[in-house]
Structure 1
Amino acid sequence: MPLLRRFQSHRSQPTRSLLSGSLVSGSLLLGLALLPLSAAADRTLSVVAPWEITGADPSTSGYVYARMRVAETLVDTDADGQPAPGLAASWQASDDGLTWRFALREGISFHDGSPLTAEAAATSLQHALAKPGILDSAPITAIEAEGNEVVIELESPFAPLPALLAHSTTLILAPNAFDDEGRVTQAIGTGPYRVETVAPPQRLDVEHFDDYWGEAPAIERASYLAMGRGETRALMAESGDADVVFTLDPASRARLARHDRLALHAEPLPRTIVFKVNAEHPFLEDTRARQALSLAIDREGIAAGLLRDPEAAAAELFPASLGPWHLGLDASEAQDVERARELLAELGWEANGSGMLERDGKPFELTLRTFSDRPELPLVATALQDQWREIGVALEVDVGNASGIPSGHHDGSLELGLMARNYGLVPDPLGTLLDDFGTDPEGMGGDWGAMGWRDDDLASWLDTLRQEANPDARTELAGQVARRLNEAMPVVPVAWYQQTAAVNVELEGFSIDPLERSYRIDELRWSE
């Protein structure tokens, strides 16, 4: 089933609250009082989400500028989640797969009035290539402009290149967005909205762009506010201080569902709640230890009791929307506590008088890092803590910033990291997988991928997928990759993720983008 139609057929309904209420400190209430009054009066659309704005550079904040429709990419996605024309009207690869040509649309202007040219687009992509980002996974040797075409040269064939050019780190910015040293100083794009003011890390105000090449938006102005605390976001929706609020915790969803001024929306995403494992840790280096932790998880209980969506239980990394990457494993068969105990016994772990495991005088104790920007994660972490205690594993939960997981990955201090990994960052998940489980000989994948783990077969399969254009061969390889990851478990799936939003009922045309590329504010309008 196509991506969007599959998601639209599985909309979740609001459910009862897990908690009895929410507490907000006086300082947070003061902060709310200082915010602008309800946007309904002047018809400025107010959007609130957890994610901060770190600057103007797409390499760090491109997702905000893309979602608020300020800047655009060469490649877009269609209703089925497949690559589609964006700023590039068409593209083609040479017979040997080493040269790709992207023909630009005619008559497009940047927000500063300068024209979109192949030279401007190529320069913008050159800057993106020079920084950490999705383009790292492609064997790009040169990006040049020829006439009205952006020409990308490759060292070896790379079939998913168009999909990578739909990622927010590849937003096309105007020449005037860069200073003489190539640093991004302003987000000057081609989208239906232009930046009016920006105050990192929290605030962005946009206004419609009169000379937009596509359909003009109905809403003239919009604002974006980054608010990390889920309780505060929910209060803003409830009070009318925000018109669209993303990423709601289960307790708030139940409360807001009773509010007659709000409509609640939810969409399953190609994002999976997983925990990554430090496979070099002496307790976790054996595959059986990782399998035991997985077998001890009550995924159905977590999905139904905490996430309030029984269908969210995930026994594998990739949801059905990702086609050949999905294995069809049954989450109800993924738990086997007795088998988990057997595997740990094989590794020499024995229960002490308190029922907790020890080996060579050392207790089986681990620390799991997670973050509250996604409010489901601390709840899931607590559930894992309880469930692993049943097999004698002591887990300490450390709720901090999202940056704690990649920093622990790099300095080697991370033991376990619970996160929500998006395997649909680009239309083809291969770009994400190359970053997460690529060919690093040291076994260090991307910040959100493998840590201390490498599989030569999997690396070879991923490398072949980079070049393989035959659909049948790609399908077979995708299945092989998914099965190997499920067996070795460098990362372990727990549940599928849903994006949620509370929306002012005076807004029409709202929908959630399953690929999280856009907030679709240009499709909204105020009801008459």
Structure 2
Amino acid sequence: MPLRRSLLSATALVAVSATMLTACTPAPPEGAGAAQGAADTGTSGAAVGGEALDVIGPYEVHSLDPATAEGIFTRLQVAETLVEADGTGELQPGLATEWAASGEGLKWTFSLRESAVFHDGTPVDAKSVVAALEAARSSEANTIAVAPIEAVRAEGNAVVVELSEPFAPLPAVLAATSTQILAPSAYREDGTVSEVIGSGPYRVVDVAPPARIELETFEDFDGQAPAVDRVVYQSVGRAENRALMAESGQADLTFGMDPTSLQRIDDQDGVRVESALLPRTIVLKLNGEHPALSDERVRRALSMALDRPGMATAVLRDPEIAATQMFPATLETWHQDHLEPLEHDVEGAGALLEEAGWQMGPDGVREKDGEPLRVELRTFPDRPELPTMATAVQAALAEVGVAVEVRVDNSSEIPAGHHDGSLEMALFTRNFALVPDPTVTLLKDYAAEGGDWGAMGWSDPDLLAAMEQLTTDADQSGTEADVAREQVATTLQQELPVVPVSWYRQSAVVNDAVEGFVLDPLERSWGLAAVSIKE
């Protein structure tokens, strides 16, 4: 069975990938993070010798800042967070070995791992952690901004977080990848990140935005040493190129595969496919202030027009992940078995549109007061299934007289359109485990003013009250918390400010030479430190 080791060296992989990227990867946006590490090695990005674990994925490197780097440096196990989480979302020790809240819930104490060391050789002490958390707090884009923090201070070998009001999900917030802890030397005088200097089992050798990161083992890591000394991560924009590289043995691990390629690769010798159902949902975001979409009847009609099982089968090759509600069954405390499932009903959708005053026009597009029911749908190609799914949504809505123009652009166009009011509809995936407690993501998405990746021009007082209950109730396993989660799920199911389309199964193509790889359902880490390469 041919293995990649006999086909291409790590250096050749970089050359092949760079050729592909010239044609398929957009330039980094203005203000993207600077390259790191060429001065560390004097190689200007060339491999430093020795066999590397070659990792291919769709995620570009446009920033070194934890708030905007999309978790790439925690996936690569370069940086750590105070709190970790296992594949079920259960919180685990990270840089903090334990944590506890005061009786009134206004003071949390996190005791640090005494043996942890940053990649620059300095200790991970309380002062350094406080500095990193203060840097995170300075950005409104950082997840930590959702917590009502009044002060963060060092107290011996512990970090103390003081709150203005109780906030039960605080430990989960400090497990978010945006709150990763970097060394003081990682920051410029103005607080921006110049280098990624973490405390994980791998340290950064070189970053070449937007496409490449090179890592090596950090010898002073205080945990289990990685089996593979070097890692080269390469961003490849096109799913078909990633598939070809996986099939030909040019990669050890390949993420972000399209369903069609996965079906083909599953039968190939030399590679295997690992999959896991994620706490992630493909959703259709609707502008609640749009002349048509502000009407709940229209939103329900759009939902009823979607043949979710058919779309999941045709686009994702997996009918079992058709969404019947917002939260997949993997989110056990949020998924509600009693909810009436979202169903496909073209006639019912037409009747609702008629009731809302939208009559079918002679060209097959509904009209009201002389205005056609035409909407723009924005999506992006970072996840290869999204443009195809957008086309399927377009076809489904056309059946009930809604004309949809699909616009495939950068993902940044969705929050930009949210803020300037130009967004009408958007299709994307929403990960409810960016923070291990989904409450935190929902607080950002369904606040009274809405959220970039959640509601737009829509709010509900009952949902807001339920979210408030979840942030103040210290007993997240109690009856009151269960009732609050049920209220959130029910309101989203009935009002549909964001329409669930499909749940999500993550897959990775693994070369047979790789042993010990386990796919993390929360996508927090790729677990590279635990893998080895067979000789």
Fold-level match, TM-score > 0.5?
Answer: yes
Task: Name the TM-score, length of structure 1 as normaliser.
Answer: 0.90
Q: Quote how far apart the aligned CAs of 1:249 are.
A: 0.8
Structure 2 residue 489 is matched with structure 1 residue 482: yes
Structure 1 alignment gaps of length 5 or more: 1-23, 33-38
Partners of 1:242 and 1:504 lie apart in 2 by: 7
Match of 1:315 among 298, 318, 324: 324
* Conserved? CA contact 1:62–1:171, under 8 Å: no
Q: Quote how far apart the aligned CAs of 1:42 are.
A: 4.2
Structure 2 residue 116 is matched with structure 1 residue 108: yes
Structure 2 residue 444 is matched with structure 1 residue 439: no
Q: Quote how far apart the aligned CAs of 1:500 are.
A: 1.4
Map 1:261-272; keep pairs closer than 5 Å. Answer: 261-272=270-281
Alignment match, 1:202: 211
Pair 469,26 (structure 1): closer, same or farther in 2 beyond 3 Å: closer
Alignment match, 2:480: 473
Alignment match, 2:101: 93
Pair 87,383 (structure 1): closer, same or farther in 2 beyond 3 Å: same
**Which letter maps to 1:115?**
P
Match of 2:530 among 517, 520, 523: 523
Map 1:235-250; keep pairs closer than 5 Å. Answer: 235-250=244-259
Q: Quote how far apart the aligned CAs of 1:31 are.
A: 7.0
Structure 2 residue 461 is matched with structure 1 residue 456: yes
Alignment match, 2:132: 124
* Conserved? CA contact 1:381–1:418, under 8 Å: yes
Structure 2 residue 427 is matched with structure 1 residue 418: yes
**Which letter maps to 2:274?**
H
Residues 199-219 of structure 1, C-alpha deviation per residue, up to 9 Å, x if partnerless? 111111000011111111100
Structure 2 residue 155 is matched with structure 1 residue 146: yes
Partners of 1:439 and 1:88 lie apart in 2 by: 33
**Which letter maps to 2:166?**
P
Partners of 2:419 and 2:111 lie apart in 1 by: 40
**Which letter maps to 1:63?**
G
Partners of 2:89 and 2:444 lie apart in 1 by: 21
Q: Pairwise CA RMSD of aligned residues?
A: 2.0
**Which letter maps to 2:225?**
A
Partners of 1:266 and 1:29 lie apart in 2 by: 26
What is the total number of aligned residue pairs between the two structures? 494
Residues 56-104 of structure 1, C-alpha deviation per residue, up to 9 Å, x if partnerless? 2111115010000000000001353211111100000000000000000
Alignment match, 2:86: 78
Pair 370,319 (structure 1): closer, same or farther in 2 beyond 3 Å: same
Map 1:332-481; keep pairs closer than 5 Å. Answer: 334-440=343-449, 445-470=450-475, 471-481=478-488
State the secondary structure of the residue aligned to 1:58.
Answer: coil
State the secondary structure of the residue aligned to 2:223.
Answer: coil
State the secondary structure of the residue aligned to 1:115.
Answer: coil
Alignment match, 1:28: 20
Identity of aligned residues (%): 50
Structure 2 residue 515 is matched with structure 1 residue 508: yes
Partners of 2:489 and 2:507 lie apart in 1 by: 27
Structure 2 alignment gaps of length 5 or more: 1-15, 25-46
Q: Quote how far apart the aligned CAs of 1:348 are.
A: 0.8
Q: Quote how far apart the aligned CAs of 1:130 are.
A: 0.9
Partners of 2:448 and 2:170 lie apart in 1 by: 18
Partners of 1:62 and 1:99 lie apart in 2 by: 29
* Conserved? CA contact 2:284–2:498, under 8 Å: yes
Partners of 1:288 and 1:80 lie apart in 2 by: 36
Residues 363-389 of structure 1, C-alpha deviation per residue, up to 9 Å, x if partnerless? 111110001111111111111111111
**Which letter maps to 1:491?**
V
Q: Quote how far apart the aligned CAs of 1:30 are.
A: 7.8
Partners of 1:509 and 1:69 lie apart in 2 by: 16
Residues 139-182 of structure 1, C-alpha deviation per residue, up to 9 Å, x if partnerless? 11111111011100101000011011111110011111112222
Pair 281,431 (structure 1): closer, same or farther in 2 beyond 3 Å: same
Q: Quote how far apart the aligned CAs of 1:29 are.
A: 8.7
Structure 2 residue 61 is matched with structure 1 residue 53: yes
Q: Quote how far apart the aligned CAs of 1:356 are.
A: 2.3
Q: Quote how far apart the aligned CAs of 1:435 are.
A: 0.3
Partners of 1:422 and 1:292 lie apart in 2 by: 25
State the secondary structure of the residue aligned to 1:306.
Answer: helix
Pair 29,139 (structure 1): closer, same or farther in 2 beyond 3 Å: closer
Q: After TM superposition, what 4+ stretches of structure 1 lie above 4 angstroms from structure 2?
A: 24-27, 29-32, 329-333
Pair 260,367 (structure 1): closer, same or farther in 2 beyond 3 Å: same
Q: Quote how far apart the aligned CAs of 1:404 are.
A: 1.2
* Conserved? CA contact 2:64–2:196, under 8 Å: yes
Pair 433,332 (structure 1): closer, same or farther in 2 beyond 3 Å: closer
Structure 2 residue 233 is matched with structure 1 residue 224: yes
Alignment match, 2:4: none
State the secondary structure of the residue aligned to 2:284.
Answer: strand
State the secondary structure of the residue aligned to 1:28.
Answer: helix
Task: Name the TM-score, length of structure 2 as normaliser.
Answer: 0.89
Q: Quote how far apart the aligned CAs of 1:108 are.
A: 1.2
* Conserved? CA contact 2:285–2:497, under 8 Å: yes
Q: Quote how far apart the aligned CAs of 1:259 are.
A: 2.1
- Higher alpha-carbon deviation: 319-328 or 121-130: 319-328
Partners of 2:496 and 2:341 lie apart in 1 by: 18
Partners of 2:319 and 2:493 lie apart in 1 by: 21
State the secondary structure of the residue aligned to 1:324.
Answer: coil
Map 1:186-197; keep pairs closer than 5 Å. Answer: 186-197=195-206
Partners of 1:169 and 1:394 lie apart in 2 by: 39
Pair 66,358 (structure 1): closer, same or farther in 2 beyond 3 Å: same
**Which letter maps to 1:502?**
V
Q: Quote how far apart the aligned CAs of 1:234 are.
A: 1.1
Q: Quote how far apart the aligned CAs of 1:271 are.
A: 0.5
